[in-house]
Amino acid sequence: MTSLTQPKLVTVFGGSGFVGRYIVRALARRGYRVRVAVRRPDLAVHLQPLGGVGQIVAVQANLRNRASVDRAVMGADHVVNCVGILFESGRNTFESVQEFGARAVAEAARASGAGLTHISAIGADPDSASVYASSKGRAEAAVFKILPDAVILRPSIIFGPEDGFFNKFAEMARFFPALPLVGGGRTRFQPVYVGDVAEAVARSVDGRLKGGVIYELGGPRVMSFRECLEEILEITQRKRSLVPLPWSLASLIGTIGGLIPFVEPPLTADQVVLLKTDNVVSDKAEGEGRTLAGIGIPQTTVEAILPSYLTRYRVHGQYSGTGREA
């Protein structure tokens, strides 16, 4: 454990990814020593400038290799697990990464006497028809069984400069004359800024969040799928049709896309299943204060952040005029 002369050590699994890098930065700014557990430490050098000399160190760990997980956690005061995948590829299945991996991290944290913050997702449910959501639900149950005082955070779709949602559709709008409204575009989301999620994680490491509790993180605005695409087109100044895509056809496209190995598909059959359920903070979480507002974190709006990185998808990038051009 930490000596009297050293700040706390936090191990972050998945710290080199989209959400992880913001968590690492938030922890480093608080003065924590951060050990980033990743499969390829040589690809995590972009994290070094986020802290002082020697404050952030990358180590090799693979969630399918229990010994490497134990080594990464050894001596840590707190552990953060933000590893997750949106589609399965090869040995990276929802079960191996999001369920078995979560269990391995929790067991390692318990053995080391460290606290644990686990990043899940709104919609996590072991009984869900979605393989992604059911694996997230089983992971939550396993985490609480192993460490009853763990903190679990369930964000809605997360937005930020490196996100895989708004960037994906903005990129599609560059090349296609129309964008698909899966299921009519009625699914509701509550986009949450990645920096707000990172702040919630940091506060849990600080000990300011109650253990044994699931927090649901959403932004200040609930948006339908259609509204999300309209916002993208407004910012990128693109004129594109929004074409309803029936569930059956979307499932077929997702099934075909999922058959292509080692390539991120534009849509999978499991993601179509997910889109049939709203992805918003529950009324119960709101009532019990298990939200960003409930823990005192101001919610960042999409209007304040999206233009800062989606303007690059305009015809002439950030130097485009004010009217829609293509």
Question: What pLDDT was estimated at residue 70?
Answer: 97
CATH numbers and ranges of domains, the chain: 9-149 (3.40.50.720)
Residue 73 makes CB contacts below 8 A (sequence gap 6+) with 11, 37, 79, 105, 108, 109, 111, 112, 114
Residue 294 phi, psi dihedral angles, 5° rounding: -65, -25
The answer to whether the CB of 170 falls within 8 A of the CB of 236 is: yes
Q: Which amino acid is at 45?
A: V
| Among 92, 129, 119, CA closest to 274 | 129
How many CB atoms within 10 Å of residue 239? 10
For the chain, what is the mean pLDDT? 93
The answer to whether the CB of 79 falls within 8 A of the CB of 105 is: yes
Is the C-alpha dihedral spanning 139, 267, 299, 49 positive or negative?
A: positive
Residue 179 makes CB contacts below 8 A (sequence gap 6+) with 169, 172, 173, 229, 233, 240, 241, 242, 243
Q: Which two tokens stand for residue 190?
A: 């509550």
pLDDT band at 255 (very low <50, low <70, confident <90, very high): confident
The answer to whether the CB of 245 falls within 8 A of the CB of 183 is: yes
Tell me the C-alpha to C-alpha distance, in Å, between residue 87 and each of 92, 95, 217, 264. 9, 11, 22, 8
Mean pLDDT check: name the lowest of 6-20, 54-68, 239-253, 312-326. 312-326
Task: Indicate the pTM of the whole model.
Answer: 0.93
**Rounded average pLDDT over 144-162:** 98
Residue-wise DSSP of 242-273: EEEE-HHHHHHHHHHHTTSTTS--S--HHHHH
The string of pLDDT tens digits covering residues 91-144 is 888 899 899 999 999 999 999 999 999 999 999 999 999 999 999 999 999 999
C-alpha span between 233 and 173 (Å, rounded): 8
Q: Calculate helix-pair angle for 225-236, 302-310, nearest 10 degrees.
A: 50
Which secondary structure element, helix H or strand E, spans residue 193, and what is its range?
strand 192-193
Is 90 exceeded by the pLDDT of residue 241?
Answer: yes
**DSSP label at residue 297:** P
Which is it for strands 223-224 and 188-189: parallel, antiparallel or unpaired? antiparallel
Q: Can you tell me whether residue 323 is helix, strand or coil?
A: coil
The string of pLDDT tens digits covering residues 60-70 is 999 989 999 99
Whole-angstrom Cα Rg for the chain = 20
